[in-house]
Structures are given as structure tokens and as C-alpha cells.
A and B are shown apart, each in its own frame.
Chain A
Amino acid sequence: MSTTTLNHSIESHGHEHAEVTGWRKYIWSLDHKIIGLQYLFTSLGFLFVGGGLALLLRWQLAYPSTQVMANGDVGNPLSLPFINPQFYNSLFTMHATVMVFLVVMPLLIGAFGNYLIPLKIGAGDMAFPLINELSYWVYVFSGVLLMGSFFVAGGAAAGGWTSYAPLSSVSAYNGTQIGQSLWCVGIFFNGLASIMGAFNYITTIVNMRAPGMGFFRMPLAVWSLFITAFLLLLAVPVLSAAAAMLFLDLNAGTSFFNPANGGQPLLWQHLFWFFGHPEVYIMILPAMGMVSDILSIFSRKPVFGYRAMVYAMVAIGFLGFIVWGHHMFVSGMNLVLSAAFGVSTMVIAVPSAIKTFNWLGTLWGGSIRFTTAMLNALAFVLMFVIGGLSGIFMASTPVDIFVHHTYFIVAHIHYVLFGGSIFGIFAGIYTWYPKMFGRMLDENLGKIHFGLTFAFYNLCFFPMHNVGLGGMMRRIADPTAYEHLRALQPINQFITIAAIGLGFSQFVFLWNFFRSLRHGKPAGKNPWNATTLEWTVASPPGHGNFEVTPRVYRGAYDYSVPGAPRDFIMQNEPEPSDSPQGKVAGRKSVTAG
């Protein structure tokens, strides 16, 4: 690599920290890569916890323990008798809480954000390594609080992950004063961890880019995490304020959400969704950014419309703050206001479509490599489109009023959150695992994992559209208790079987993940022939990442440049002075053999 030595740091801020070795590094290390891996392992662990909760609640829906059989017995012979309706409420509440706050956010932002940002912008570490490590431990603490709430009197929070007041704010209604209070405290600390990460990332990206790494030379993964950090920074504290109010309502006798004393239950919904809608983009933007990079790498082509991609993400981030009311169409909202929220929501379809078409444009005419990473990235695009289209249904008030409290919305959220974020996360893991651990994941096992996941995922979540339109309500413990849902019960059992298949397919991933740590093919510096800075250093990179500060000469996507000796030019390679091809000509390249 022709790295020009340009070490002109203007001032040192005294953040020097020594490398911590051995097992201690997994507790005390301030290295962003170790913290990223801590986030990765912890949140993958929580992924299995959240998945386990999902399987339990799916089992109850297929074989309800409360069902009255034809012979008069209570309980289906296949049912799990310990799942009573209150526990069922805890199950779906905590499934969503775990998946949102302890799995998808920490995976995308904690794991990939930490690992990739400094490496991709050419920095030695994050701006504030100590706060970075602190943020991880605060996250772990929030996870302990939320998990611990299963073991308190009354069990874990049971008011849904949205914790709508007054269901959540009156203990006589939610049945678990302590569980709901612990939920508030857990969410508060989880938010603290997110905020610590967010201002750290923003400071790092603004101030610590390597020389030559202009904002518009940053890979889209970094752009997406940058925009996400702003969303976290401004949205999460509002949830923290709301969680504090809810906690006080439960424990100090305040009446913020208690209508009997002049409180406003709707205030909770507004505060929650003011956070909750940016949260939707917090959980999808980083996946979008990573997928953009991955599609480019494996179709050997520059990202189509790089600047449009950046502006589309900025637009999504901004619009995300002014559409929260579309979650509340069924709250009795003024129709004029709901129309305004509906229109602003549909406007988001524009930047989303720009991104989708640009992904297709990136693929168009490329020499596509169907690696496991690429397959997952392609699945992301496909599933995100389905999830996005079903989202349009909900943006339209009259349709939303019909489907809002049904499984249609459950199908929608899983198409964007599993089909989008989780496939994006898998694509990211398959792409950057070689960088993180120095060894390749097994491609065959990877493809088996992808095929099983993709098939079972669709078998599990697509029929939810059907049961939703068939009138099945969300958050009911026993569909057989309702006359109009009995005909849907076979579909519910089918969904449950598919969900079990989906869950067990992940053990292929686990096996591949842990086996490859020791037995994978050595990866080398740049197994994918990619262009960005993390591929210029060893796998895994050493402490401090770069021996000399890299200098950046070009954008992140110089694939298949005509006249270039290889089909990729790394960001730190200087412009060859004797090349007949100028920079402008290089940008126009689209195809390669």
C-alpha cells in the first residue's frame, strides 16, 4: 500500500491509552474494536434471548394454554401451562423491548458503529475511549435490569413495549408495579448508553477523519451512522424524560398520565413516538449504509448516486422527526392533523425510493458475486421494499384505522426490522467478520444459513399479513377465544412452526461463527478486494489501527475504473500521475467483465 506518511496532528488531547491484553481487555480495554466486539457478543446473546421469548409467545398463539377443548378440558394438550395471559403479556412486551433496545440498536450502532467508524475514517480510536467503554457497561447494566425484571413480584413489564398510559402508569392495570418501574429505569440507562455513544460518534466523525477524507469521501456506512447518531442524540432524551415521568407516576404519585388528576394519557404517546419514529430510522439507517457498501463491493461497481444516497439519508433523518403522529391515528386524533401526519409520512417514500433505485442502479450491469454477504444484502433490499410498501398502507389514515390493531402491523414491523435490519446485520457480519477475527466465515454454511433464514423468515412473517387482514388482533393471548379467529388457527400454527424453523436455523450461524474463529480460512488484509481504509490494515487490526495516519486520495467506491490495473483502487492510493485516465473519466465507469 502506498501510504504517504503525513502525520500532522495539530494537537494531542492526552487521550493516549495503553493496550490492555489478555482476558482483562474484555473488561477494561478502551480500544474501539474490543468495545465493538463486546457489543457484538452481548447483543448476539440477547438476540437468542429475544428469539426465545418470541418462540414462547408463538407457541402460546398456536397451542393456547387457555383454550377450551371440545371435551371441556382447559388447555390444548400441546400447550405450555406456565404461559398464562399475564405472562404472555410480559413475553411480547419484553420480546420487543429486548429486540429493539438490547439487540438491533447495540448491534448496528454499538457493534458496527464502534468497530467500523474509526477504521473507515482513518482514525486511531474514538474521540472519547473511556466514555465509549462506559457506554458499553451502562448498556449491560440496562440489560441486567430488564432481564432481572422477569424475577420480581408480578413479573416483567406487560404493557407492550410502547408502554401506553394509563395501562403502564397504573399498577392495578399492568399488574406489575416493580416490573414496569424496572422497565422505565432500564430504558433510561439504555438511553444514557445511546447518548454517550452518539456524541462520541459525532465528535469522532467530524474531527478525526484522516487527511483527505472529506465528508463526501466517507463510505455510506459512516454517513449512515453519523446521521443515526444525530437521531439518537435528539430523540432518545425525550424518551428518557417520558420514562422518568412514567416512573414517577408509578412510584411517586405524580399524575402526568393519570386522567383522574388532570393528566394526559395521550402525552405519553406523543413523547414516546417523538422518540419512537426516529427510532425506526435509527434501526434501519445503519443497515442501509452497510448494505450500500456491500452491494458496491460485490457488484464491483461504484455506488450509484452517492450524493443522492447521502442526501436521501439526511432527508429521512429529518423527516423522521415530524411524522410521529402516524403511530397514533387510532388515538382519536384530529382528522386534519392525521392528514398532515399522513402526508409527511408518505413524503418519506421519496428518499426511500431514491435509495432503493440507487441500490438497483448499483447492481445494474455489475459483475455480481453471490457471496453470503451479498445474498443477505440483496435480501435486505427486497424485504425492505415489501416492508416499506406495507408501511404506505399504515400512512393512510382510513386504512390504518382498519389494520392498526391487527397482525398486519406486526407483519410490517417484522419486514422492516427483521427483513431489513437483521438481514443488514447478517450482511455486515459476513462482510466484516474477516476483518474482526482474521478468518473467513464458511461460505457453504453461510449460504445454508441464509437460505434457511430467508425461507423460514418469509414463511413466518408473510402469513401475518393474511391473519391481520383476517381480523386477528395484536397482543391477544388466545386467538381461539374469538369466534371469528378460529378459522385462522391453522395459519397461526403454520406461523409458529415456521418461527421455530427460523429460530433453529440460527444455530447454523452460531456453529459457523464459532467454528470459523479457529478453523476459518485466514482472511488476509483485504479478502473482498474492497477500497475503504479498514481493508488497508491487518485482520484483525492492531491496537491503534494505523501505524501511520493514512492519507485519502479518492472516494470510497473506485471499483472497475477504466484503465486501472485492478478492478478496485483503494482510498489511500494516490492518483497515478502517468495515467491517461483522469479522475473524471474514472468516475464514469460502470461496467467490468
Chain B
Amino acid sequence: MSSTTIAATGYSSDPLRAPRFTLPKFGMLVFLASEAMLFAGLIGGYIVLRISQGPGNWPPPGAPTIGVSMPPSFLNWVMIANTVFLLSSSVTYHWGESRMRKGGSGLLGYGLTAILGVIFLGVQAWEWLHLKEEGMWFNSFGTYGSCFFTMTGFHGLHVFLGLLAILLAVGRAGLRQMKIFSGQTPNPSHTFEELTGYYWHFVDVVWVFLYSILYVL
């Protein structure tokens, strides 16, 4: 073989039918199935541990109230707002992507997403510290504390990694905006933004499940 470089190209057996997903997008979707099973393992464990406590013991007596109560407490409102922030970050991201596809930079959309993501993580950190002050931590209130901090921690770690990718997307959008200002054609590759979008939306959906079981149900 004389070739020194190779192209890993995706070819379907039918040359006339364009593949629905490019390789990176396909790979990301398959990877997210694996991520889903990670959270399925955690949520499955949570369900077992919670049910085994018997009715009325969850949250255990004396533990700070995390669940939504009527009327909602201050902490309730904070976390409702935080959920809205995270969910709207998916909307702003989508908006940035569609601006980008139409030839714009998407800078505003990605920038707003980054800001909302930082707010979400900041509020979550505040919540953790607030709960710690009230005596709830990984090692207190039995499995109640274990589950809450481990699950929100795993999710927060995913948000953090997604946020790093979004900051990169903001940087790329900034470069694109500069090219647009100077009359050049921006970089036509949107793969990075699309992959980040898949991941970010996935992390949002996971939060919907976590919020439901940790705060509402």
C-alpha cells in the first residue's frame, strides 16, 4: 500500500442514499445510550433504596425538605427557577444552532446557553452548601443524603463537561462572527456544535428525570 493517508469515510451500501447521520453524530447518539444506562443504574438504585425505607420515611425525619411543598419554600422556588434556567438553555442552544445554519455565527445563542449553564451550576453549588449547613451531606441522613448528592453530583459533572464544550462553541462562534464582520465566509463545519447540542439536550433530559424523582415525586 502506498497511500500514506486514509480517509475514514462513511459509505452506505447504496451510493445514492445519503446517510441520515454523519459518523460523529451517529457515534454520539450511540454513546448517549450508554450514558442513559449510567443514569438508569443510579435511578434504579435510588428507587430500590427509597422504596425499602417504607412509606413516610422518605425524607427521613429531621432532614431538610428538598421536595416541593405547598406553598413552595424559598429553596423550592430556587430549584424551580434553576430547572427553568437549564431547560431554557436548551432552547437558546437550539436557537444558536439554527442561526449558525442560516449563515450567522450563533454567538448570542451559544453565549446565552453558557451563561444559563454557569447559573445552573452556581445555583446547584449554592444548594449543596446550603444543605450542608443544615446538616445534610453525602454521609448523613442515611441513603437520603447518599442518593441526593451522588445523583445531582453525577449530573452536575455532566453539566460541567457540557459547559466546557459550550464554552468552546462560544469561542468558535466568536471566530465565526469576526469572519462575518470582515466579510469572509465562516467555517462551514458545524459538527462540533451539533455533537455538543446532542450532549447538552441529553443532560437536560436527564435533569427532568432527576428533578422529578428527587424534588417532586
Given A256-B146, A263-B49, verify A237-B10 contact (CB < 8 Å): no
**Which listed residue, B10, B144, B149, B189, touches A207 by the CB 8 Å rule?**
B10
B45 x A245 contact (CB < 8 A): yes
- In the assembled complex, the CB of B21 is this many whole angstroms from the nearest CB of chain A, namely 8
Query: Does A57 have its Cβ within 8 Å of any Cβ on chain B?
Result: no
A199 x B27 contact (CB < 8 A): yes
**Which listed residue, A14, A261, A543, touches B3 by the CB 8 Å rule?**
A543
Write the A199-239 contact mask toward B (1 if CB under 8 angstroms, else 0): 11011001111111110000000000000000001111111
Distance A517 CA – B86 CA, assembled complex (angstroms): 58
A16 x B5 contact (CB < 8 A): yes
A214 x B9 contact (CB < 8 A): no
**Which listed residue, B11, B24, B53, B147, touches A549 by the CB 8 Å rule?**
B11
Q: Can you list 8 pairs linking A and B with CB atoms under 8 Å apart?
A: A9-B9, A131-B27, A211-B11, A233-B33, A237-B37, A237-B41, A256-B49, A267-B45
Given A11-B9, A244-B154, verify A237-B34 contact (CB < 8 Å): yes
> Which residues of chain A are near B52, meaning CB under 8 Å?
262, 264
Q: Which of B52, B60, B142, B146 has the most CB of A within 10 A?
A: B146
A-B CB pair tally, cutoff 8 Å = 206
Given A198-B34, A237-B34, verify A255-B13 contact (CB < 8 Å): no
> Which residues of chain B are near A538, meaning CB under 8 Å?
1
- The interface of chain B, by Cβ under 8 A from chain A, is 1-13, 15, 18-19, 22-24, 26-27, 30-31, 33-35, 37-42, 44-45, 48-49, 52-53, 60, 138-139, 142-147, 149-150, 154, 189, 191
Given A244-B150, A263-B49, verify A211-B15 contact (CB < 8 Å): yes
Given A234-B33, A542-B1, verify A262-B8 contact (CB < 8 Å): no
- The interface of chain A, by Cβ under 8 A from chain B, is 6, 8-19, 123-129, 131, 195, 198-200, 202-203, 206-214, 233-242, 244-245, 248-249, 252-256, 261-264, 267, 270-271, 274, 537-538, 541-545, 547, 549
Distance A17 CA – B49 CA, assembled complex (angstroms): 49
A203 x B27 contact (CB < 8 A): yes
> Which residues of chain A are near B5, meaning CB under 8 Å?
16-19, 544
The chain B residue with its CB closest to the CB of A32 is: B8
A124 x B6 contact (CB < 8 A): yes
**Which listed residue, A249, A254, A542, touches B145 by the CB 8 Å rule?**
A254
Distance A240 CA – B42 CA, assembled complex (angstroms): 10
A10 x B9 contact (CB < 8 A): yes
Distance A203 CA – B139 CA, assembled complex (angstroms): 41
A127 x B27 contact (CB < 8 A): yes
> Which residues of chain B are near A267, meaning CB under 8 Å?
45, 48-49
> Which residues of chain A are near B154, meaning CB under 8 Å?
241, 244
B38 x A128 contact (CB < 8 A): no
**Which listed residue, B30, B138, B147, B191, touches A233 by the CB 8 Å rule?**
B30
